[in-house]
Structure 1
């Protein structure tokens, strides 16, 4: 977008674009690795504990929640039920801690690469072995912008570039950190992009709810008409 909020056209306005390792990007945007915009602290990009360090035998009915990859495979954070670990195990595996505002990504399986942001009101958790997280430095890049970009890469198949194919597909942590992404150099432009997409998402959700109501209305009306519960009035000539 330009300073007026209009979408840039690289063909109509080539002077507003520059070459980069990712192709033509707007002047004023940067081409950086995901590692570059990660929070400046240890384990800002990390996966869950290795196999034997966190297994089902460690699960408890209360404690620190375990954040599973299945919570984000829809592109939204949805957790209908949790398992937990006790505080001592959490502290032993603290490298895999995940905090509100972090991006959680499915690491292993057919839907690896799908992601969502851990909600701001969610307690600190620990990653399951099938998940990873990215803590973003929001002074360099908005978490919501990176989340949006990763969702786009997942939907378009570009996330496949950082997958490994062994027994089952998995995200390579090393390749994820080194992955080049385009980032608007101003936080304001990042916020504007997120705002535009959020508005469209809200509109889609509204239309889907309305569509759901229409489908229910149609189903009910079909039942009433085809069982004779509701009669269609005839005209005066019985037609």
Structure 2
């Protein structure tokens, strides 16, 4: 298989800073930022006249920041200052989506070779020296299509999971939000009122001096729970941490019980999860608060969801931290958190709904994991030439010659436009009518002159912008519009 350096087939242009507007008009242009490479949910616009414009055939790469190296294509608009535009020089030889899907798999390479410790940015040399496998144009099309279709399935599955999360949140707000029936009649109770009336029902884990990392083992008798077990607002087994029974005897007051709630209080704070009923013998670390609830009053699943998603709880945490990003919580804050407590039957109904949705979500997540594994395997095989591409049936394959022809025609028109603009610029300070301009172009030696309407479109584009190449006025003596080539 032949390989070519990326720098030999692309031009690189960095984006610019733009003034954003809240109410876009028909003439406004989209501005693409790093976050827009993953989603089109929050499109931003500008009325700026100048900028680095990208077409759907251009490849975009996040150039600066923690996400440097994320790649996307198929978008158009101005690009912000943290985005780089990779424009393929000969699109009739290199199919842009093929280059795009290859670069998408290079994120780890871009991260590893990036410059800057505080603010990482793409290493231009590493980018331009990256080697791309060169295959026939028709095979580039096949690879791009099959990987794009697989990637589309992954995106759809992720969107389905996101919609399930939205459904659960909207269900919670409908059942227990401020506009729900009888909301005003429900008691407003704080956490210490709904916890079990016994010692250590609200507790954190042992201090660092009592439980050191050196005492953890990857397998053992007693599990140790940390932030990773609750960071997704549901209980998950992640990093394996254990201590011996002997150590547990020193720390058994930190024991975790089935249906306890755990809350992250350091690092990523405010996440909450319910301990499953089949939990083995376990304790929590100092990074978690654990609450054993009085289940004659409240349902743990309702309380856990309220802690991380109730607007009422969020507002209390916001006020206590004066709007700043929380660096941590403590037991005092947690004990005083107030929650509107509806009848227990309502709470139990929510648990049943939550578990049904979580069951569906689990199937979707398992499906997503399988799709991502299949994509990786497929990606590796197609780029290493381990798949017979002739056996891949792709819709639209018969039109590949038309695509190449269309690209060539587009490039030819662009070159013609550049030539026409150069000719017009060479007449700085002159005044001429449209008829005179066309005659001038005919005499210029251009091999193929566009039609009259196309020339008019080029002229109109040169009348726009903060520093237009052309200006026009009506000559009353000649009774015609005159164009002036600005100096």
Q: Normalising by structure 1, what TM-score?
A: 0.72
Indicate if the aligned counterparts of 2:206 and 2:254 stay in contact, CA closer than 8 A.
yes
CA distance in 2, matches of 1:209, 1:127: 28
Evaluate the alpha carbon distance shift between residue 136 and residue 163 of structure 1 in structure 2; reply closer, same or farther with a 3 A threshold.
Answer: farther
Task: From 229, 235, 238, give the equivalent of 2:391.
Answer: 229
The equivalent residue for 2:212 is 55
Indicate if the aligned counterparts of 2:228 and 2:238 stay in contact, CA closer than 8 A.
no
The equivalent residue for 1:76 is 234
Deviations 1:100-157 (A, max 9, x none): 2211221200x21112112111112111121121111100111121112123149x95
The equivalent residue for 1:3 is none
1:1-239 equivalence runs, <5 A: 17=182, 25-27=183-185, 29-60=186-217, 61-109=219-267, 111-153=268-310, 157-158=314-315, 160-161=317-318, 169-184=327-342, 186-205=343-362, 227-231=389-393
Indicate if the aligned counterparts of 1:113 and 1:159 stay in contact, CA closer than 8 A.
no
The equivalent residue for 1:20 is none
Deviation for aligned residue 1:9: 9.3
Q: How many residues align?
A: 214
Deviations 1:29-76 (A, max 9, x none): 211001111012111110011121111122244222111121110122
- Residue 120 of structure 1 aligns to a residue in which SS? coil
Deviation for aligned residue 1:209: 6.0
- Residue 139 of structure 1 aligns to a residue in which SS? coil
CA distance in 2, matches of 1:165, 1:50: 28
Q: Larger C-alpha radius of gyration, 1 or 2?
A: 2
Gaps of 5+ in 2: 1-173, 383-387, 399-487
Q: Normalising by structure 2, what TM-score?
A: 0.38
- Residue 347 of structure 2 aligns to a residue in which SS? helix
Indicate if the aligned counterparts of 2:188 and 2:339 stay in contact, CA closer than 8 A.
yes
Evaluate the alpha carbon distance shift between residue 79 and residue 228 of structure 1 in structure 2; reply closer, same or farther with a 3 A threshold.
Answer: same
CA distance in 2, matches of 1:117, 1:180: 19
CA distance in 2, matches of 1:63, 1:10: 46
CA distance in 2, matches of 1:183, 1:104: 19
Deviation for aligned residue 1:178: 0.8
Indicate if the aligned counterparts of 2:206 and 2:285 stay in contact, CA closer than 8 A.
yes
Deviations 1:58-99 (A, max 9, x none): 224422211112111012222234222223332222232212
Evaluate the alpha carbon distance shift between residue 170 and residue 159 of structure 1 in structure 2; reply closer, same or farther with a 3 A threshold.
Answer: farther
Evaluate the alpha carbon distance shift between residue 198 and residue 65 of structure 1 in structure 2; reply closer, same or farther with a 3 A threshold.
Answer: closer
CA distance in 2, matches of 1:31, 1:163: 21
Evaluate the alpha carbon distance shift between residue 175 and residue 8 of structure 1 in structure 2; reply closer, same or farther with a 3 A threshold.
Answer: closer
Q: More helix by proportion, 1 or 2?
A: 2
CA distance in 2, matches of 1:115, 1:158: 16
Indicate if the aligned counterparts of 2:255 and 2:281 stay in contact, CA closer than 8 A.
yes
Indicate if the aligned counterparts of 1:107 and 1:132 stay in contact, CA closer than 8 A.
yes
Gaps of 5+ in 1: 1-5, 18-24
Relative contact order, CA 8 A, sep 6+: which one is greater?
1
